[in-house]
A and B are shown apart, each in its own frame.
Chain A
């Protein structure tokens, strides 16, 4: 039998972005042995690409802010489909988590009176995003990384997990390989925290990196957990559209937070006409009011003026841009114009340095001199592994999930800035709960050799397929299906075709082959990654087909309205006894009365 290394930890954390690092720090702080596995080098996880900021109601800039308003904004942004308890914990605990980051060495931009500076973002009533220019994620991951390396956490870099292994119904370990040389490794663990991020690589145009192949969702699904709300895919409204090589790369919402204006090819500031009736009163009525708001923000003054329409929620802005382009009012390369060049150029470079360089170096566009061209890009999966709100445990005992791979927190649409806060709030909770759980588990967990053998066999198989298909071709096919049939706007007939085509593609995945050696072989890695992407894609397509309404990021052309009855249901995908995907609609947990009142009261809720 092929050899493999065996390591043992009380808690194994899979994924080393913000959530994984925060979970590992918390668990190790409780005195248990912690292993941290990541597919890339430490510090390169997707968190590093987060730009705009971390949302926390510190009320440093807008003193009226408080957790209730943050909670209300989050639920409204998620079209009330969020798990209310997660949204509440998130809003209540985010300020402490941000202050904690500062005490661990994060250096946030400051207000004039020496506090953490906060900027405006889509869907947030007040200026709430703590930030470092437009590289907030880098600041966070480096802070957590430097904190973590001094805590005795064992880090396994460039290591991919391919299987979770249970003893009876309980988690007992995980199996994987080192990317460097392909050698296998078995982890024995009493508790496992999944923090693997999203599944953007199921789409062609995405802001996500190669790592985003839905590993945590795939592993959890195979281990018996549920995937909820998978139909809700966030298309970020502003990705780069030109040149082709950078299509999809993120343009931070911070550009709009700093006053960036969206216009179509006719020069119209079109967002005014796309504001939903329910929230129209929260936004400026005309350009003059928007200008007043921006001028006050630039000067650091307070104002009664309402925020510009560009700061509507992401789902709404993405649909608006898509519609403008489709109706023939797009920019030359199929996007719209985003303009910040009317502001002082030195200030733009200071507040948005990465954007300045990104456009200058990659697209020959000086954003201080003219507008950018932007269009929607697949950015985030709101749905994910169903977890308990307090502990982040899945329905598989000993299996936890935090961050983007988990579901419930963001409902039907995530607000910008709520992801970085989600990572640290629920990363900490998952780490603590996993450590607590591990302490209760006797060390007699067994790993049946047959699971290890099966895991090895699966990984060896692509090399045995002599005329195997190029895994990258299969990946392109998957991207095509998702982009064509399960995109921003959806309808019954297309989704049904999508589901059928995915079913056919499952067979092709089984034919994908690898060549060469096991040493750092991306083609071989892709063969396994495809399986996770397929599980996620199928869950996305089936859930989207089943939800016969439009809500948040899920836009059905054939069911354009938001329906009250659908507002009480989550879609949930799990594996049935025959290995097929089972889709159910489960009741949304009901919010207690005291929280319901937050939505009834008129402003201000935190006076």
Chain B
């Protein structure tokens, strides 16, 4: 079915072909159908010109987070990138995520993310927890659990992308994961020391690039990172407040729930 606004339209895609060491952009002409997305165009190339073109994808419905790439410089899911957002004569450049080493073509090595995930203390409820939980108590946790692990936030984070601190920084994806655990009403573990000393949450200077690219519209910076930064500050940089809270006898979760409005944060180094 041709594009009704421009029947017979052919789009030109420039796709990165190659490995980490060596590669180049190759141009392909692809007929455009109505409602087509960039991933459809990539599949067309694969089926008709280059069966060996490497690309990851699964659901084609923005649910699995596999087909992340940079489309005309914009980190996005190819399955959500409509072809009709581009001008008719515009070349569409598709390249792999910059932050991760290229394996081949559009496929990058994202295994580092899985290693970071292993270090996070898992969900730890008390054995005698009361599992009566109200919807209002889990709304914010459910937001974090929408994450489809497309790693676009990791890809655009300056600390990872420009400063290449994968050795020393967990990245927004895993701050979202930690937030989902820390804010679970029945979780009893404390991950603040990890956030500070290993995840180095302080490196984040809240430029919100991660939030902008999130295909699930998770408010990564405002709802996950900033509240976690506040908790870290309270725990490690506010001894008086901690002492008073201790006197009041609040346990970890209740203490946090009782905190007042967010305060402005100066990112620590």
Q: Which residues of A contact B (CB under 8 A)?
A: 40-46, 48-49, 99, 102-105, 107, 109-110, 113-115, 132-133, 135, 138-139, 142, 146-147, 149-150, 155, 157, 180-181, 209-211, 242-246, 249-250, 353-354, 357-358, 361-364, 470-473, 476, 514-517, 519-524, 526
Contacts and interface: CB of A to CB of B under 8 A. Distances in A.
Contacts of A523: 46, 51-52
Interface string B31-55: 0011111001000001110011111
Contact of A44 (B19, B58, B181): B58
A109 B139 CA distance: 9
B55 A522 contact: yes
Contact of B117 (A99, A146, A526): A146
Contact of A245 (B40, B62, B114, B184): B40
A157 B58 CA distance: 14
Contact of B51 (A99, A114, A243, A514): A514
B63 A519 contact: no
Interface in B142-178: 142, 145-149
B243 interface: no
A362 B58 contact: no
A582 to B, nearest CB: 34
27 contacts: A48-B59, A49-B64, A102-B131, A107-B138, A107-B141, A110-B133, A114-B133, A132-B145, A135-B146, A138-B145, A139-B145, A142-B147, A209-B59, A210-B58, A211-B58, A242-B35, A245-B40, A246-B60, A354-B61, A357-B62, A362-B80, A472-B51, A515-B51, A515-B52, A519-B54, A521-B51, A521-B54
B60 A249 contact: yes
A105 B134 contact: no
Contacts of B59: 46, 48-49, 209
Given A107-B141, A109-B135, A209-B58, 16 more contacts: A41-B114, A44-B58, A44-B66, A105-B181, A110-B134, A139-B145, A146-B123, A243-B35, A244-B35, A245-B35, A246-B35, A354-B61, A471-B51, A514-B52, A521-B51, A522-B53
Given A146-B122, A361-B80, A522 B52 contact: yes
Contacts of B57: 209-210
A184 B56 CA distance: 20
Interface of B: 1, 19, 33-37, 40, 46-48, 51-66, 80, 82, 103-105, 107, 109-111, 114, 117-118, 122-123, 125, 131-135, 138, 141-142, 145-149, 181, 184
A105 B51 contact: no
B46 A472 contact: yes
Contact of A150 (B62, B82, B122): B122
Contacts of B19: 519
Nearest to A151: B122
Contacts of A44: 58, 64-66, 149
Contacts of A517: 52
Contacts of B149: 43-44
Nearest to B19: A519
Contacts of A142: 145, 147
B61 A358 contact: yes
Given A110-B135, A517-B52, A41 B61 contact: no
Nearest to B110: A41
Nearest to B53: A522
A11 B63 CA distance: 30
A150 B33 contact: no
A523 B50 CA distance: 8
A362 B35 contact: yes
B184 A105 contact: yes
A522 B122 contact: no
B104 to A, nearest CB: 4
Given A110-B135, A519-B19, A363 B60 contact: no
A555 to B, nearest CB: 27
| A-B CB proximity, top 5 nearest | A243-B35, A523-B51, A105-B123, A516-B52, A520-B54
A135 B146 CA distance: 8
B100 to A, nearest CB: 12
A476 to B, nearest CB: 8
B58 A48 contact: yes
Given A41-B110, A48-B59, A515-B52, A243 B33 contact: yes
Nearest to B114: A42
Contacts of A40: 56, 58, 64, 66
Contacts of A43: 149
Nearest to B185: A107
Contact of B118 (A149, A245, A472, A520): A149
A146 B187 CA distance: 15
Nearest to A43: B149
A362 B37 contact: yes
Contacts of B135: 109-110
A480 B235 CA distance: 63
A46 B65 CA distance: 12
Contacts of B36: 243-245
A142 B148 CA distance: 9
A138 B149 CA distance: 10
A584 B170 CA distance: 56
Contacts of B134: 110, 114
B103 A180 contact: yes
Contacts of B105: 520
B5 to A, nearest CB: 12
Given A114-B133, A522-B53, A244 B34 contact: yes
Nearest to A248: B60
Nearest to A250: B61
Nearest to B132: A114
A285 B61 CA distance: 36
Given A40-B56, A105-B184, A361 B64 contact: no
Given A44-B58, A107-B141, A114-B134, A524 B52 contact: yes
Contacts of A354: 61-63
A145 to B, nearest CB: 9
Nearest to B79: A362
A157 B111 contact: yes
Contacts of A147: 122
Contacts of B61: 49, 246, 249-250, 354, 358, 362
A49 B122 CA distance: 24
B236 to A, nearest CB: 26
B132 A113 contact: yes
A358 B134 CA distance: 28
A364 B85 CA distance: 12
B40 A521 contact: no
Contacts of A41: 56, 66, 110, 114
Given A110-B133, A114-B133, A105 B58 contact: no
Contacts of B131: 99, 102-103
Given A110-B135, A114-B133, A515-B52, A245 B104 contact: no
Contacts of A242: 35
B88 to A, nearest CB: 18
